[in-house]
Chain A
Amino acid sequence: MIDIQSVSKSFVTRDADPVHALNAVSLEIYDNEFFTLLGPSGCGKTTLLRLIAGFEAPSSGAIRIAGSDVAALPPQKRPVNTVFQSYALFPHMSVAENVAFGLEMQNAPKALIDERVREALEMVRLEGFATRRPAQLSGGQQQRVAVARALAPKPSVLLLDEPLSALDLKLRKGMQSELKRLQRETGITFVLVTHDQEEALAMSDRIAVMRSGDVLQVGTPRDIYDNPQDRFVADFIGESNLLPGAALGRDPAKTIVVRPEHIVVSPVSDGAKGHATGAVSAITFLGSDTLYEVVLEEGAKLHSRSRGGSALATGDRVVVDWARHLERELAN
């Protein structure tokens, strides 16, 4: 659906050197997929979204949407609609007028516009709100109008720029599954930008993890969680222990990545065997889980997360162990 070929973008600034927001990024986003650009702020994910929408032009490289090169097309000529972070609803128009706007600009016949507006509002469950002004709606409702407005013209691609960041936690969880449902029902390719890894894991078919203008890894949520190919990805997606090889008596040029939930901590006195020994330095009770911080004899620190409580106390000498197939070895 979207083919991004070594796209770079630098911004000219007044005083300093140009800022490189994207460094020759290549990506392929498939038909009918929920794709997420995930990364910390400043990683270039929003820039990439704006390049796809056409608000910015790439410094080099090519973007194809549905097979055709869109380099020369301004945003109004691209089969792409955006849900803005701030929603950007037109405050002087009613909800229905907002949703109808895109179709009107495409000169769609009146009957079709009315039908699509009704459909779109139904899809986001705002049937009764057609005549309201955006200012009369809650944040969550405004968000839905923004989604309905972007979906009404039935674009090939829907871009979502941190759409949930302004909502409180409970609404956010609800909207996550709503968006997922809308994607499945409409069959439109969704491209989501977020810095929230949990959101990305929960919603996406595939994720591209980005940092400082580079795409580090692309894959399914499972794949990215289980097989991080980069220290940054391992650390950014979920929680990870990044242990220097030397701390485990292995190749010092490698870093061993282990998820806290895979690490078993048991007292030395039990006579258990493991990858290393150390001492419990902190215990945090998390409700269903307990988090142990262990300082290894070689100085490295790791976290272990296990179900329920246990008899361990701070200062206890322990053995840490995990199944070898659950760890990943990365070059430093």
Chain B
Amino acid sequence: MNGAKTFDWRHTPGLSVYTALIFVFFYAPLLILVIYAFNSSRLVTVWAGFSFKWFVAVANNGAIRDAATNSIIIAIVATIASTAIATAGAIALERGRLRFGRGAATALIAMPLVVPEIVVAITTLIFFSGLGMHHGLINLMIAHTVFCIPFALLPIQARLRDMGGTLEEAGRDLYADEWRLFRRVTLPLLLPAISAGAIMAFVVSLDDFLISMMVSSAGSTTLPVYIYGMMRLGVTPEVNAISTILLAVSIVFVAAALLVGRRNRFA
């Protein structure tokens, strides 16, 4: 060992170049998409000067506006409903009296995260048509609420576990009944996790394609489904523009979720 170099992965030659290449591979396509959204040419691959005209075209396209409105309404409803259900579920799992089956229940709730989405999409479609439910937006809201629940539940459950039960015991010890304990102690301490869960749910709902594709019907198209439709007629700069907007919205929300999650940690 004396003097001889032993293997240390931290000093692999070319590691930094290799790492940089991976980032290029990740983000170059996104960057190109965003750059060409500002291209004044009709052709997607030829740069002809800077312009906002495709954003204007998107804004003036009634069908895109309708799809975007649908997406946002669905995302808001699904976020509120799934976060409420997830909060209640997380509290039941972490603080409830159930003695056994906690792990199994958590695994079942998290399962949609690992089941292939196409399977979920097809079963959701079959479920709705089996029930004879054809309510357009409402079907989409229900489907989105369901698949958003695990995304909202996991951060809330993790936070409850981190907190431990002692603070709530202290609240009870100091004469708080269950409702006031929830309002004054549990909920405020949980709020960062609830916000993070809600933002995750919102982004997941907004970006969802497969399930929406299966469940949506004429008049209830969501934005990703509409974009896919546009793509079949060829990639136009409008697609770049609308994708850029979606991307920006997602980044803002995910960043917000991270920031909110980081604040208010326990010492």
Interfacial residues, chain A to chain B (CB-CB below 8 A):
12, 14, 53-55, 74-77, 80-82, 84, 86, 88-92, 101-102, 105-106, 134-135, 149-150, 153
Contact = CB atoms under 8 A, between A and B. Distances in A.
B112 interface: no
A94 to B, nearest CB: 13
Interface in B159-206: 166-167, 169-177, 180, 184-185, 188-189
A210 B177 CA distance: 33
Contacts of B169: 55, 75, 82, 84, 88
B267 A75 contact: no
A72 to B, nearest CB: 15
Query: A80, A84, A86, A91: which has the most chain B beta carbons within 10 Å?
Result: A91
B172 A90 contact: no
B174 A149 contact: yes
B166 A88 contact: yes
A81 B166 contact: no
A14 B101 CA distance: 11
Contacts of A105: 171, 174-177, 180
A123 to B, nearest CB: 17
Nearest to A88: B170
Interface residues on B, range: 20 to 34
B7 interface: no
A86 B100 CA distance: 28
Interface of B: 99-100, 166-167, 169-177, 180, 184-185, 188-189, 264, 266-267
A74 B173 CA distance: 9
A101 B266 contact: no
A61 B176 CA distance: 27
Contact of A14 (B100, B166, B171): B100
Contacts of B100: 14
Contact of B174 (A14, A55, A86, A102): A102
A149 B171 CA distance: 11
A135 B267 contact: yes
A134 B267 CA distance: 9
A86 B176 contact: no
A81 B170 CA distance: 9
Contact of B267 (A74, A81, A91): A91
Contact of A75 (B173, B180, B185, B266): B173
A92 B170 contact: no
Contacts of B264: 91-92
A74 B172 contact: yes
B175 A90 contact: no
Contact of A106 (B175, B185, B188, B266): B175
A85 B105 CA distance: 32
A179 B176 CA distance: 26
Nearest to B267: A135
A329 B172 CA distance: 48
